[in-house]
């Protein structure tokens, strides 16, 4: 892995000129095969949207505990809602994570046919009462990060030598989660991390941070590399699902968050495919002596396995 993560301007992916699109795709492909992490500029997400998101995150985490517990993730079978401080332990060998989180999924209406049919992960979002402005600010960023995630997939497809729009209809009702994160001040004095070492589960993660450092990427040779703060850029990384889809051609790299001395906010958008999409190793990623390493699985089964392995509250009855 190189010592510094690549910064990739992805505006060219929107160009009419195929050569411009291919040039960006080649850069993306190199990053996905190498570090598995890259910084993205030229993403087209207005700064006002990101500012609005962080304003909403600050207001949300500042609510009284009772208001946050009223929308606890324990009340949602669909991986939505609030996760309290130290309720999660991404690395089981370390103390619980020093963070609180709030998960938002695809914003479906209560009478959406898939919600009524109780399809897996198809539920309504939980919103704190009396704060309607939070919902619109958070959903504006959800939509913007989703669009960026789909744009990146056009680049991945070009790099992988498949149809440029291969992923389009596999990401149009995705199992996506926008996770707001708040790492309180005062970390760094003990062994607790903000978030323990883990890999992400989906295809790609689009991360916005408030400029406070803390995220570290595991080097293949050992040790940790701090992700630099580049104003206006998003940090993107490949998740386990795209690693599987590409037969390990793209790499899902472990990372962690130090418990920062100063308070830190971030927002991770995890883009997983549609629930019924079959994730089967792509034809161009196998060859003689390199068979498919994974059997096909649906997006919903895949995510369920991953979440059940991580979160005790999904296995045990809510307490």
Ligand X SMILES: O=C(O)CCC(=O)C(=O)O
CB of 100 to ligand X, least distance (A): 12
| Contact assessment for residue 128 and residue 67, using Cβ atoms and an 8 Å cutoff | yes
Q: Please report, as residue ranges, which positions from 200 to 229 form the binding site for Fe ion (by CB under 5 A).
A: 200
Verify binding: residue 209, ligand X, rule CB under 6 A.
yes
CB of 309 to ligand X, least distance (A): 15
CB of 195 to Fe ion, least distance (A): 7
Q: What string of H, E and C letters represents the secondary structure of 195-226?
A: EEEECCCCCEEEEEECCCCCEEEECCCCCEEE
Stretch that binds ligand X, among 6-14, 71-79, 135-143, 209-217 (CB under 6 A): 209-217
The smaller minimum CB distance to ligand X, of residues 63 and 180, is found at: 180
Half-sphere exposure (Cβ direction) of 20: Cα atoms closer than 13 Å: 9
CB of 209 to ligand X, least distance (A): 6
Give the whole-angstrom CA distance, residue 195 versus residue 181. 10
Residue 128 interacts with which of Fe ion, ligand X, none, CB < 5 to 8 Å by class: none
| Contact assessment for residue 266 and residue 258, using Cβ atoms and an 8 Å cutoff | no
Verify binding: residue 200, ligand X, rule CB under 6 A.
yes
CB of 122 to ligand X, least distance (A): 22
Residue 277 interacts with which of ligand X, Fe ion, none, CB < 5 to 8 Å by class: none
Verify binding: residue 251, ligand X, rule CB under 6 A.
no
Verify binding: residue 266, ligand X, rule CB under 6 A.
yes
Q: Please report, as residue ranges, which positions from 268 to 287 form the binding site for ligand X (by CB under 6 A).
A: 268
Helix boundaries (H) for 189-298: 240-245
**Six token digits for residue 11:** 């505006």
CB of 195 to ligand X, least distance (A): 5
- What is the β-pairing status of strands 224-226 and 195-198? unpaired
Verify binding: residue 207, ligand X, rule CB under 6 A.
yes
- What is the β-pairing status of strands 264-271 and 177-183? antiparallel
Verify binding: residue 215, ligand X, rule CB under 6 A.
yes
Give the whole-angstrom CA distance, residue 168 versus residue 29. 18
Torsion angle (degrees, nearest 10) of CA 304, 308, 310, 315:
150
Residues that bind ligand X (CB under 6 A): 179, 181, 195, 200, 207, 209, 214-215, 255, 257, 266, 268
Residues that bind Fe ion (CB under 5 A): 200
């Amino acid at each position: 892995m190189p010592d510094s993560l690549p910064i990739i301007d992805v505006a060219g992916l929107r160009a009419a000129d195929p050569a411009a699109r291919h040039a960006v795709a080649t850069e993306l492909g190199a990053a996905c095969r190498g570090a598995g992490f890259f910084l993205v500029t030229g993403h087209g997400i207005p700064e006002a949207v990101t500012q609005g998101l962080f304003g909403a995150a600050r207001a949300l985490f500042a609510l009284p505990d009772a208001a946050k517990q009223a929308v606890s993730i324990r009340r949602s079978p669909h991986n939505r809602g609030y996760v309290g401080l130290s309720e999660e332990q991404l690395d089981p060998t370390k103390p619980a994570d020093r963070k609180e989180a709030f998960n938002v999924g695809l914003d479906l209406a209560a009478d959406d046919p898939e919600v009524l049919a109780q399809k897996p992960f198809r539920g309504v979002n939980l919103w704190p009462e009396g704060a309607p402005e939070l919902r619109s600010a958070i959903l504006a960023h959800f939509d913007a990060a989703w669009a960026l995630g789909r744009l990146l997939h056009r680049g991945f497809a070009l790099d992988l030598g498949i149809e440029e729009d291969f992923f389009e209809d596999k990401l149009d009702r995705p199992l996506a989660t926008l996770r707001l994160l708040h790492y309180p001040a005062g970390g760094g004095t003990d062994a607790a991390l903000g978030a323990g070492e883990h890999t992400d589960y989906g295809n790609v993660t689009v991360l916005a941070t408030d400029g406070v450092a803390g995220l570290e990427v595991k080097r293949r040779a050992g040790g940790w590399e701090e992700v630099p703060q580049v104003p206006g850029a998003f940090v993107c990384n490949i998740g386990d699902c795209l690693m599987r889809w590409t037969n390990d051609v793209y790499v899902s790299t472990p990372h962690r968050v130090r418990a920062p001395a100063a308070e830190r906010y971030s927002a991770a958008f995890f883009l997983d495919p549609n629930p019924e999409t079959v994730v089967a190793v792509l034809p161009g990623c196998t060859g003689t002596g390199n068979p498919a390493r994974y059997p096909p699985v649906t997006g919903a089964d895949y995510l369920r396995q991953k979440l059940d392995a991580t979160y005790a509250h999904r296995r045990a009855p809510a307490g």
